[in-house]
C-alpha cells in the first residue's frame, strides 16, 4: 500500500505556508508521496483573478524544485478543467491507482466548509483527512458522515487526524494584494524561486 497525501488549493501564489503544511504531513503521516493538486476553478470561492492555471502550475513547480523529492505536482484538476471537486479527483485517482491510500492535507481554516463539499460522505469513503491548526482559524471537527477522529492515520479511509500548527499566518489573497500594491517590494512568505518567476513573467501586476 502506497500512502499518498493530497494537498489541494489554487496556489495563487504558492507560499511558505503551503510548504510548511507539506513538511508537517511528511513528518507525521508516514507518507510515501505528497502531491500538490492545483485547482482549475474553485467551486467555493469567487474567481480571484491572477495568472492562468498553467502559470500557477509553473510557479508551484518552482516552489518544489529543491523542496523534497517525495513531493510533486498532480495536474489532474487543471487538465480536467471546470470546477474542481475533491470527490471527482478522488474517484479518478482511486480508479487509476487502486493500490494507494489517500489522505487530504489541509489547514484548519477549511474545516467549517467540509459539510458543504460535494458528496462529503463519498470523499471520506475514499480518503482520510489530516488538518494542521492555522493561527486564528477554527479548531473544531464538523459533523461529516464517515469522518471519525483517530490518534494516527492507519492508512484506511474516513480517519481524521491532527497535525501540529504551521505557526504561519499566510494567505495567498493578502500576498496577491501586496504584490499588486507595491510591485517593487518582495513580500515575505513567498519562496525565492516563486518570486523570481513572478518578477520575470510580470505576474500579479
Name the residue range of residue 62's domain: 2-198
Reported as a single tens digit per residue, the pLDDT across 13-39 is: 999 999 999 999 999 999 999 999 999
Q: Say yes or no to pLDDT of 137 above 80.
A: no
Q: What share of the chain is helix, strand, coil (3-state, %, to 5)?
A: 35, 20, 45
Q: Is residue 22 part of a domain?
A: yes
Q: Report if residue 135 sits inside a domain.
A: yes
Residue 205 lies in a domain: no
Asked if residue 120 has pLDDT above 90, the reply is yes
Angle at 111 between CA 169 and CA 124, to 5 degrees: 135
* Phi-psi label, residue 46: left if phi above 0, alpha if psi -120 to 50, beta otherwise: beta
Predicted local confidence at residue 30, as pLDDT: 97
Residue 150, domain member (yes or no) = yes
Do residues 86 and 122 lie in contact, with contact meaning Cβ atoms separated by under 8 Å? no
Query: Is residue 117 in a domain?
Result: yes
Q: What is the reported pLDDT for 164?
A: 94
pLDDT for the residue numbered 138: 67
pTM: 0.95
What mean pLDDT, rounded, does the chain reach? 93
Q: What is the CATH number of the domain that holds 103?
A: 3.40.50.620
Report residue 141's pLDDT band, with 50, 70 and 90 as the boundaries. confident
- Label residue 75 by pLDDT band (50, 70, 90): very high
For residues 139 and 116, what is the distance between their CA atoms, to the nearest angstrom? 17
Domain count, the chain: 1
Task: Give yes or no for residue 77 having a pLDDT over 80.
Answer: yes
Task: Kindly state whether residue 204 falls inside one of the protein's structural domains.
Answer: no
Give pLDDT tens digits for 162-202. 999 988 888 898 999 898 888 778 889 999 999 999 999 99
Residue 43 within a domain: yes
Amino acid at each position: 500500500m502506497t500512502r499518498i497525501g493530497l494537498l489541494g488549493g489554487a496556489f495563487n501564489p504558492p507560499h511558505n505556508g503551503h510548504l510548511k503544511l507539506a513538511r508537517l504531513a511528511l513528518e507525521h503521516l508516514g507518507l510515501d508521496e505528497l502531491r500538490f493538486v492545483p485547482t482549475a476553478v474553485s467551486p467555493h470561492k469567487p474567481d480571484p483573478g491572477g495568472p492562468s492555471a498553467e502559470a500557477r502550475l509553473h510557479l508551484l513547480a518552482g516552489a518544489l524544485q529543491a523542496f523534497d523529492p517525495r513531493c510533486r505536482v498532480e495536474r489532474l484538476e487543471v487538465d480536467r478543467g471546470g470546477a474542481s471537486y475533491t470527490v471527482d479527483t478522488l474517484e479518478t485517482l482511486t480508479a487509476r491507482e487502486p493500490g494507494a491510500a489517500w489522505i487530504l492535507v489541509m489547514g484548519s481554516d477549511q474545516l467549517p466548509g467540509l459539510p458543504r463539499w460535494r458528496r462529503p460522505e463519498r470523499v471520506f469513503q475514499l480518503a482520510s483527512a489530516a488538518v494542521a491548526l492555522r493561527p486564528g482559524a477554527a479548531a473544531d471537527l464538523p459533523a461529516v458522515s464517515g469522518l471519525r477522529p483517530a490518534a494516527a492515520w492507519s492508512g484506511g479511509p474516513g480517519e481524521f487526524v491532527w497535525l501540529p500548527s504551521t505557526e504561519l499566518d499566510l494567505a495567498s489573497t493578502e500576498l496577491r494584494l501586496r504584490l499588486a500594491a507595491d510591485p517593487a517590494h518582495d513580500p515575505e512568505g513567498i519562496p525565492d524561486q516563486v518570486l523570481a518567476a513572478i518578477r520575470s513573467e510580470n505576474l500579479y501586476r
